[in-house]
Amino acid sequence: MSETMIRIEDVHKEYKVEGGKDVNALNGVDLDIRRNEFVCVVGPSGCGKTTLLNIVAGLEPFDSGRVTMHGEDIVGPGSERGVIFQQYALFPWMTVRKNIEYGMKFLKKSDGMPLYTKEEKTAKTKHYIEMVNLTGFEDSYPKALSGGMKQRVAIARGYAQNPEVLLMDEPFGALDAQTRAQLQEDLLQTWEKETKTVLFITHDVDEAVLLATRVVIMSARPGQIKEIVDITLAYPRNQATKMDPVFIQHRNYIWDTVYKMYLEVRK
């Protein structure tokens, strides 16, 4: 078993709402993320998935508990944690190549010198453009790309930043079903080739089972971890994996659990 990379211990988070009722978003969340795992978090809308990811990203303060990476408290954003959001956060005035290169711009060695030379940056950018199948679009601007292509640029930039862990919040949520299926396969291939620790939020149970080594099921109100399911399917995986009886078994079990919670919340 790999070492723990990120440890979330008894994290509580309440949003103060002026003139309204405060929202108890996370109520004692414990989770260990180990090196090279692909952890997917599923749960009903509003159960605190984004809050949890933003806390690990260092973008959101919390009230009590501890969040550490390699034993050190996470107190803010850091280049060892790359974040990929649902809305393609690309710079519209930069080409695909420049958007990806930008991810490497601020990387420094321990002596403060840039991590990569200009030549290394060019080579890496080429490598990641190929990896996400965007060869030929290096000089295109985001406005000329489809949603799926934009999200592939965001993923390439995430990888180019060379973070230890990728934090992805419903990165395929805004895409049509076919593009989504394609990007799931791209991400799987990328992860199989260049394994990285991934924390991936989705409300799509099929997506979670297809991608993850472990699926974390969150319950709503108050946000807590209800159950963690080890996905026992071998890699490589692709869309055909969805026909595997083991896939179907995991999927039905998790879907049922999430749906029951959803019905309870609606009561």
Site residues (CB under 5 A) for Mg ion? 49-50
Kindly state the smallest distance separating residue 180's Cβ from Mg ion, in Å.
17
Q: Which of Mg ion, ligand ADP, none lies near 46, with the C-beta cut-off 5 to 8 A by kind?
A: ligand ADP
Contact partner at residue 25 from Mg ion, ligand ADP, none, CB < 5 to 8 Å by partner kind = ligand ADP
* Residue 239 contacts which entry, ligand ADP, Mg ion, none (Cβ below 5-8 A, type-dependent): none
What is the Cα–Cα distance from 26 to 15, expressed in whole angstroms?
10
Partner that binds at residue 15, options ligand ADP, Mg ion, none, CB closer than 5 to 8 Å by kind: ligand ADP
In the complex, the smallest distance separating the C-beta of residue 186 from ligand ADP, rounded to whole angstroms, is 24
- For ligand ADP, give the closer residue by CB, 42 or 156: 42
| Closest separation in Å from C-beta 257 to ligand ADP | 15
Residue 47 or 211 with smaller CB distance to ligand ADP: 47
Are the CB atoms for 32 and 8 separated by under 8 Å?
yes
Residues that bind ligand ADP (CB under 6 A): 15, 17, 23, 25, 43, 45-51
Write out the E strands in the chain: 4-15, 23-34, 38-42, 64-69, 72-73, 81-84, 165-169, 197-201, 214-219, 224-230
- Picked from ligand ADP, Mg ion, none, the partner binding residue 125 (CB below 5 to 8 A depending on kind) is none
Residue 154 CA to residue 85 CA, distance in Å, equals 9
| CA pair distance 211, 198, nearest whole angstrom | 10
The Cα–Cα gap between 78 and 50 comes to 18
Element at 251 (helix H, strand E): helix 245-266
Compute the distance between CA of residue 79 and CA of residue 58 in angstroms, rounded to an integer. 11
